[in-house]
Structure 1
Amino acid sequence: MNRTFKTVASSDISISELMLPNYTNFSGKIHGGYILSLMDQIAFACASKFSGNYCVTASVDTVNFLKPIEVGELVKMKASVNYVGKSSMIIGIRVEAENIQTGIIKHCNSSYFTMVAKDSAGKSALVPGLILSNNNDVRRFYNCIKQISLKKEKDLHEEEFDYTSKESLENLKNYNIKLEFL
Structure 2
Amino acid sequence: MKPRKASETFASSSRIVLPNDTNTLGNLMGGQLLNWMDINAAISAHRHCRRVVVTAAVNNVSFDSAINLADVVSIESKVSRAFNSSMEVYLDVYVENHTTGERSKCNEAIYTFVAVDQLGAPIQVPELIPETESEIKRYDSALRRRQLSLILAGKMKPTDATELRILFTGE
- Which residue number corresponds to residue 131 of structure 1? 129
* Larger-gyration structure (1/2): 1
Q: In the comparison of the two structures, how many residue pairs are matched?
A: 154
Superposed CA RMSD in Å reads 1.3
Question: In 2, distance between residues paired with 1:117 and 1:154?
Answer: 23
Q: How does 1:18-37 map to 2 (within 5 A)?
A: 18-37=16-35
Bigger mean CA offset, 79-88 vs 42-51: 42-51
Write out per-residue CA displacement over residues 129-174 of structure 1, whole angstroms, 9 at most, x where no aligned residue: 1112122211010111121222234445xxxxxxxxxxxxxxxxxx
Post-superposition Cα deviations, 1:76-103, rounded to whole Å, max 9, x if no partner, equal 0000000101110000011111013312
* Kept after mapping to 2: 8 A contact 1:67/1:106: no
Gaps of 5+ in 1: 157-182
Mapped pair 1:13 → 2:21 = no
Equivalence map 1:88-99=2 (5 Å): 88-99=86-97
Match 2:36 to one of 35, 38, 53: 38
SS of match in other structure, 2:61: coil
Q: Is residue 17–residue 76 contact of structure 1 (8 Å, CA) maintained in 2?
A: yes
Instruction: Determine what percentage of the aligned residue pairs are the same residue.
Output: 29
Instruction: Give the alignment's TM-score, normalised by structure 1.
Output: 0.80
Partner Cα separation in structure 2 for residue 137 and residue 66 of structure 1: 22
Name the CA distance, whole Å, in 2 between partners of 1:84 and 1:153.
Answer: 19
